[in-house]
Structure 1
Amino acid sequence: MEEIKTERQKMIDGELYFAADPELVAARKFAREQMKVINQEEDRYIRRQLIEETFGSTGTGCYIEPSISFDYGFNIHVGKNFYANFNSIFLDICPITIGDNCMFGPNAQLYTATHPLNPVKRNSGLEYGKPITLGDNVWLGGNVVITPGVTLGDNVVVAAGSVVTKSFPDNCVIGGNPARVIKEIEGDDARSPLEMQRQKIDHLDQQIVALLEERMTVVEAIVAVKKEESKAILDTSREQEVLKKIASFVENNRYNEAIQETYQGLMDASKRFQEEQLDE
């Protein structure tokens, strides 16, 4: 028996579909509500959580500057350490899949949506799309446009203002309208597997330091409260509670011991800092 597809499934599969379908109209309405909430949220951590709830999937370290625009949100999948500058546009009629360690300049535009060339079909309200796939370590410059059906390999760099109308393989710099290969990335420009992993560490360290600075700001506030209330620095029960909570956050048990030791060192350093502040 032939399967009867919904208009939503036809859309995702890249087939002709009616955008006026009630399910899709409701989904777009919800997406616009989410966009409004996301773009108005000033707290970057809450904004990240809202994005994680709206997108199809996100890796760790995802950060997108406001504002962002999208059709549905559920067709957007981004990997680890994704960063997008201001005014990103994702027309996610079909899936947009973005690898790890990708960076977008301002006004990056990814369009999976298109229309039939035949005017009769186009005027009937039928639409369709083609998926966009970006590999790992892809960098889009400002005002780059990626058109429907494009796949970019790993380590591709797209020059600012380019319009990418076809797919390109790994390790190349492309640019222009339509985009073409400007140079191959090889020799000194090609990163070894070890260098690539170290660059990921550097990127993560930058995010971790920013979070640690925020944590220390809170520690200073705690010191002020303890001074006012004449409370001791060491609170063994609180320390154990924190470590237990950290253990519950760890998803890969192989890392649990190392993360516990890291946090124990972090709390020890925090206690020393508090003691120094109280002595002043």
Structure 2
Amino acid sequence: MTSEKEKSFAGEWYDPNGDSDLIAEREKAMELCQDINLLHIKNPKRDKFLTELFPRKGDNVVILNPIWADYGLYSTIGDGTFINHNAFLMDGGTITIGKNCLIGPNCGMYTATHALDPIERRTGIETALPIVIEDDVWLGGDVTILPGVTIGKGSIIGAKSLVNKDIPANVIAVGNPCKVLREITDSDKILTT
């Protein structure tokens, strides 16, 4: 018999409140988020709590308060990534953030989607699709990323954008819905060697 948790990671419809493991993991994440958010950024306990919340967090990752995650366990954060204030990682499906990414304030990454029919929606069933943010991506403030989206390496997403489709590598994309504005080229370089 397939558990609700197994259905979740298979991209199937599942009941997040019908699995005791998922409920316990969400409750633990809620407690850790609260503990983290009450501590000063230099408090040594904060790092311990962050590692417990995000066991797949790389080296030299900076995460500012407040931080929110549904589970934390299902998010991977690459080395050297910076996550600004008030980020929310709804990681019912996996969220993968690459190395050296800049995540602006108030960014939300939402892996869950609910039934369209209102009667079915009342049951609480949902699906969760992975989000992938490749290396060296910069998300401006207030960016929202919807289920199943991949943002390609080196791309920039403008502030307040709603990303509902994949974005290729090395582009600037903006808007609601987010659309590619242009490629990033050598003429964008500030430093010359």
The normalised TM-score by structure 1 is 0.64
Percent identity between matched residues is 38
Aligned to 2:155: 156
Amino acid at match of 1:65: L
| Residue 26 of structure 1, CA deviation | 1.6
SS at match of 2:37: helix
* Higher normalized contact order (CA 8 Å, seq sep 6+, divided by chain length): 2
Aligned to 2:30: 32
Aligned to 1:19: 16
Distance 1:183 1:47 in 2: 40
| Residue 190 of structure 1, CA deviation | 6.7
Residues 13 and 92 from structure 1, CA distance in 2 versus in 1: closer, same or farther, beyond 3 angstroms? same
Amino acid at match of 1:187: D
1:6 pairs, out of 3, 7, 11, with: 3
Aligned residues: 189
Aligned to 1:246: none
| Residue 123 of structure 1, CA deviation | 2.1
Q: Give the 5 Å matches for 1:218-229.
A: none
Q: Give the 5 Å matches for 1:1-280.
A: 4-21=1-18, 22-44=20-42, 45-189=44-188
1:59-88 CA-partner distances (Å, limit 9, x unpaired): 100110000111111011010001111100
Residues 190 and 150 from structure 1, CA distance in 2 versus in 1: closer, same or farther, beyond 3 angstroms? farther
For structure 1, the 5+ residue unaligned runs are 196-280
1:88-141 CA-partner distances (Å, limit 9, x unpaired): 011111000010000111101111011122333322221111110011000000
For structure 2, the 5+ residue unaligned runs are none
Distance 2:124 2:166 in 1: 28
The normalised TM-score by structure 2 is 0.92
Task: Kindly indicate whether the alpha-carbon contact (under 8 Å) linking 1:48 and 1:64 is maintained by their aligned counterparts in 2.
Answer: no
SS at match of 2:22: helix
| Residue 56 of structure 1, CA deviation | 4.0
